[in-house]
Structure 1
Amino acid sequence: MTRYTNDLIQSYIDSPEKKNRLYKRTLFIVGLSQIFGGAGLAAGITVGAILAQQMLGTDAVSGLPTAMFTLGSAGAALAVGRLSQRYGRRFGLTTGFIVGGIGAIGVIFSAIINSIFLLFASLLIYGAGTATNLQARYAGTDLASVKQRATAVSMAMVFTTFGAVAGPNLVNVMGHFALSIGVPALAGPFILAAAAYILAGLVFFIMLRPDPLLIARARAIEMNKQERDTQQSLRNAEQSTNKKGVAVGATVMVLTQIVMVSIMTMTPVHMGHHGHGLREVGIVIGAHIGSMYLPSLVTGILIDKIGRTAMTIASGVTLLLAGLVAAMAPSDSMGFLVLALSLLGLGWNLGLISGTAQIVDAIEPSTRAKTQGTIDVLIALAGASGGALSGMVVAHSSYATLSLSGGILSLILIPVVIWAHKGKKERMLNINKEF
């Protein structure tokens, strides 16, 4: 880094007021980018499965589009995490969103020439936007205190709501626009996605200066130098157990992702088989995505105040209810489908934010972005597996079976967090005995 950059970073370390202003500014920048990012990710969720179904003429592979862009997001999560670790959040997040926009453009061309190969290849690249949209939530936590972390994640996700809810509800509008310029209607949402992802990348490139991760890292190094020996020993004792915290946070997010993606992926196809049009699909998916992000401000505060464990249990129970309602809902009932998918989104929200907070609690700034990127790879692979298997389950059984299985799977969250909570109590007792 140049002398000017070092002096700039030092000025934020020396001034708590200046650091706090940058923290609030970073939350605003992340929120602004998430509005565009949310609109971009909604395209693949809403019409990806239907587009593949029309091209291939079978339900068995209709889960593959979700699997492809979530698989693509796995590789992108690793790349964005590594780029952010080396060059800062600004470079990593900008690159990820721009690449995602290029993937959306590829999907548009695949629909024009009716190429299933180009569709799947483009969806892999489009997944970079999904991964980046998810990793952007970490940028708000870099300068947050322990009691602000879940709230910081939740604020980023609240802003995602505006784009994520608007996206599915613009399916018809973008479909008509696509037809007016000679493009298949189902490619219309991907026109919106391309523009939205590229704009999200430009927001980070232009506005995220100075980089919050670089400042957090430099601040952590300085604080470590100032620690006394006993404080350093205590920190080392706590850090020796951080791997367990990482494992628990990752497990929570992976399980919630599998359940959410598998049920969500097949809902548009299920609705199509029972006479619902794109407008109705857009309403249900819009309600689902709204429930994924809109409650975030409240859930983040609750997680910081009530605790990670209690809210993770609430996530498992909510996902179970979602699976039960989806399994028992009459196929022609919009009300029950909206309720089921809303509960599904809320359960995912609780799991993602509580899991993210546990991850941030367990990781030092020096390795934060790299570890977060690696964990998001697991989340993306979990989503890809859920998306791919969901179509096969429905083709060989039913949507009700898929929903019920997902709900039951979510119950694993409860023993996982209880085990972690019990282990945390034992660790604190051991540390107290030492000192």
Structure 2
Amino acid sequence: MATDLTTPAPSRLDVAPIQRRTVRLLFLTQIIGGIGVTIGISVGALLAARVAGTALAGVAQSAGVVGAALLAVPVTRIMAARGRRPGLVTAYLVGAVGGVLVVVSTVLHLVPLLFLGMLLFGGGTAANLQARYTAVDLAEPARRGRQLSLVVWATTIGAVAAPNFAALADATTRGWGLPALAGPFAFSAAAFVLAAVVLAVLLRPDPLLTARRLAAAESPADPGAAPGSSARRRAGMVAAWRTVRDRPAARLGIAAVAVGHLVMVAVMSMTPVRLGESHSDADVLRVVGIVLSLHIAGMYALSPLVGWLTDRLGRRPVILGGVALLLAACAVAGTAGHHTPLLSVGLALLGLGWSGTMVAGSTLLSESVPTADRPGVQGLSDLVMGLAGAGAAAASGFVMRAVGYPTLTLLAAIAVVPLVALALRPAPVGAADELGRPADEVPDEEE
């Protein structure tokens, strides 16, 4: 930390190579972390259904989402005080501990330990989510959408293949004496540890601390921009909410991220169980792997294009495009019946809609608040997003058991309506959301 804080203030020319190196490193660790996260997602509901029953399968999935949401608070506090590197490393290591606990809980058939393990496993998701903000700490304003989306896209390489690796991991670890579906979580834990080590060694200088030094050099009259200033104290959720409350663009950014994630989690988390109704135990893991691979491809594969559109067309149009895709996904998946190819199309559209709301919403949020407030506001965004997704995941198991998968998709579609209303509200005059300027350069908006 001392090295990051005591080096001379950088110039814009100094920052460019640091940014390129940071994005390349995040690209690598997103691949590694994406493998770990997606293996857990692909088998989590099936494992929980076997250990705790179908009704609690959604609760187990929601535990991972809740874990990611709750961990966003301490992780962003660490980032605000010490930089991105310690926060990301901590999140990945907590996720690794969670993966180990899931394996132990399956061996001992302990349902409470399974839920605790899934809760901590969310650390891997928290790290993956915060990495997207790390990518824009030093990005030029006009390229923020593309830089953020490039890091999101990196997850594709590991995540698309990960569900299929789950079958290999399961077969391999059964030979070691582990129960069915437990072994993939051991592989996930190893991936998280590897990502943590790579970041701990190579993410230097820290991009957030460098951005603060740059902001302090360019705006010496702003005490909040300086390292060691009150910026560290702005990571609290109450302060973050006050910052967001006063900025309509920031509110829309958080709403887009949270609602898009809620709809995606609600439909996706119960899709493996839906597939299990029409496929044998011998085939279901392979089929789930294929369907989720297409879903994850929709989430990440086109994110560079989504980022380019975000910079080119503006944040609001891309958010509305994401909403349209989410509605189409719910319609297709809800009417697919047990027709697996059609269900796969619905899940791919679901992922693409999520990409639109996530990339455009995250970019809009980051540029709508001052530099000193960003870690706390970004943590608030991930907290709200995670809790929204957790509620959807927890309810999805009960909804599916009571009224079925088609009704679940209908309810998910209805949840999108408030976001449509918010996004269609006229943007305040002088707002930063379509201009790509930092909030530091834009006057506070008044409604």
TM-score normalised by length of structure 2: 0.88
- 1:286-308 deviation line (CA, Å, top 9, x unaligned): 11111111111111011011110
Q: How big is each residue's C-alpha offset from its partner over 1:53-99, in whole Å with a ceiling of 9 and x where there is no partner?
A: 11123x22210111101111111111111101100000000110011
1:245 is aligned to 2:241 = no
Q: Give the secondary-structure state (helix, strand or coil) at the position aligned to 1:51.
A: helix
In the other structure, the counterpart of 1:322 is 329
Q: Is residue 423 from structure 1 mapped to residue 428 from structure 2 by the alignment?
A: yes
Aligned residues: 414
Out of 188, 193, 204, the position equivalent to 1:209 is 204
Q: Deviations over 1:7-44 (max 9, x none)?
A: 5342xx23x33210111111011111100111111123
1:361 pairs with 2:367: yes
Q: Distance in 2 between matches of 1:367 and 1:425?
A: 20
Partners of 2:185 and 2:341 in 1: how far apart? 28
Equivalent position amino acid for 1:244 in 2: P
Secondary structure of 2:178's aligned partner: coil
Offset of residue 243 of structure 1: 2.4
CA distance in 1, matches of 2:153, 2:253: 21
Distance 1:360 1:114 in 2: 43
Corresponding residue for residue 8 of structure 1: 7
Deviation, 1:367, is: 2.1
User: What is the SS of the residue equivalent to 2:199?
Assistant: helix
Q: Residue type matched to 2:340 in 1?
A: M
Which residue pairs with 2:234 in the alignment?
Answer: none
Q: Find out whether 1:109 has 2:116 as its counterpart.
A: no
| Structure 2 residue 34 is the aligned partner of structure 1 residue 30 | no
Q: Do the aligned partners of residues 5 and 48 (structure 1) sit closer, same or farther apart at CA in structure 2, a change above 3 Å counting?
A: closer
Q: Report SS of the residue matched to 2:422.
A: helix
Partner of residue 67, structure 2: 72
Match of 1:142 among 137, 140, 145: 137
- Residue 21 (structure 2) pairs with residue 17 (structure 1): no
Match of 1:152 in 2: 147
Provide the residue aligned with 2:404 in structure 1.
398
The share of aligned pairs that are identical, in percent, is 35
Would you say 1:264 and 2:263 are equivalent positions? no
What residue is the counterpart of 1:385 in the other structure?
391
Amino acid at match of 1:17: L
Query: How far apart are 1:335 and its partner, in Å?
Result: 1.1
| 3-state DSSP of counterpart to 2:220 | helix
Q: Does 1:299 align with 2:295?
A: no
Q: Is the 8 A contact 1:78 1:374 kept in 2?
A: yes
CA distance in 1 between partners of 2:355 and 2:361 (Å):
10
Distance 1:418 1:176, change over 3 A: same
Contact 1:151 1:301 in 2 (8 A): yes
Alignment CA distance shift 1:354-1:176 (3 Å): same
Residues 333 and 409 of structure 2 are in contact (CA less than 8 Å); yes or no, is this contact kept in structure 1? yes
Contact 1:167 1:189 in 2 (8 A): no
Q: CA deviation at 1:274?
A: 1.4
Distance in 1, matches of 2:217 and 2:42, equals: 47
Match of 1:255 among 256, 259, 276: 259
CA distance in 2, matches of 1:61, 1:328: 25
Indicate which of 160, 185, 189 corresponds to 1:190: 185
- Out of 379-388 and 183-192, give the one that drifted further: 183-192
Q: Is the 8 A contact 1:308 1:358 kept in 2?
A: yes
CA contact (8 A) 1:131 1:380 kept: no
Tell me the equivalent position of 2:232: none
The answer to whether the aligner puts 1:352 opposite 2:358 as a matched pair is: yes
Please name the residue that 1:236 is paired with.
none
**When you count helix as a share of all residues, which structure comes out higher?**
1
Partner of 2:240: none
Asked if structure 2 preserves the Cα contact closer than 8 Å seen for 1:292 and 1:348, the reply is yes
Compared with structure 1, are the counterparts of its residues 242 and 220 closer, same or farther at alpha carbon in structure 2 (3 Å cutoff)?
farther
SS in 1 for 2:251: helix
State the distance in 2 between where 1:152 and 1:241 align. 26
Is the Cα–Cα contact under 8 Å of residues 174 and 185 in structure 1 kept in the other structure?
no
Query: What is the TM-score of this pair, normalised by structure 1?
Result: 0.91
The answer for the alignment partner of 2:39 in structure 1 is: 43
Amino acid at match of 2:330: G
How far apart are the structure 1 equivalents of 2:160 and 2:432? Answer: 43
Q: For residues 289 and 104 of structure 2, what CA distance do their matches in structure 1 show?
A: 23
Amino acid at match of 1:293: Y
Counterpart of 2:158 in structure 1 is 163
Residue aligning to 2:122: 127
Q: Distance in 1 between matches of 2:78 and 2:128?
A: 15
Report the alpha carbon displacement of residue 407 of structure 1 after superposing the two structures with TM: 2.1
Q: For the Cα contact (< 8 Å) 2:39–2:165, is it kept in 1?
A: no
Q: Deviations over 1:109-155 (max 9, x none)?
A: 11111111110011111111111111111111000121111111101
1:281 alignment counterpart: 288
CA distance 1:240–1:45, change in 2 (3 Å): closer
Q: How does 1:75-86 map to 2 (within 5 A)?
A: 75-86=70-81
CA RMSD of aligned residues (A): 2.2
- Determine the C-alpha separation between the residues in 2 that align with 1:22 and 1:431: 29
- Contact 1:75 1:377 (8 Å CA) reproduced: yes
- Structure 1 gaps of 5+ residues are 228-238
CA contact (8 A) 2:4 2:206 kept: no
Work out the CA distance in 1 between the residues paired with 2:18 and 2:4. 15
2:239 aligns with none
Mind listing any 5+ residue stretches in structure 2 that lack a counterpart?
Answer: 223-242, 434-441
Residue of structure 1 in register with 2:169 after alignment: 174
Q: Check the 8 A contact 2:4/2:210 in 1, yes or no.
A: no
Once residues 42 and 279 of structure 1 are traced to their aligned partners in structure 2, the CA distance between those partners, rounded to angstroms, is: 14
Q: 1:101 to 1:245 in 2, by over 3 A?
A: same
Partner secondary structure for residue 394 of structure 2: helix
Aligned twin of 1:231: none
C-alpha distance in structure 2 between counterparts of 1:424 and 1:218, whole Å = 31
Instruction: From the superposition, tell whether residues 150 and 168 of structure 1 become closer, same or farther in structure 2 (CA, over 3 Å).
Output: same
Equivalent residue letter for 1:8 = T
Deviation at residue 401 of structure 1 after TM alignment: 0.5
The match for 1:407 among 408, 413, 416 is 413
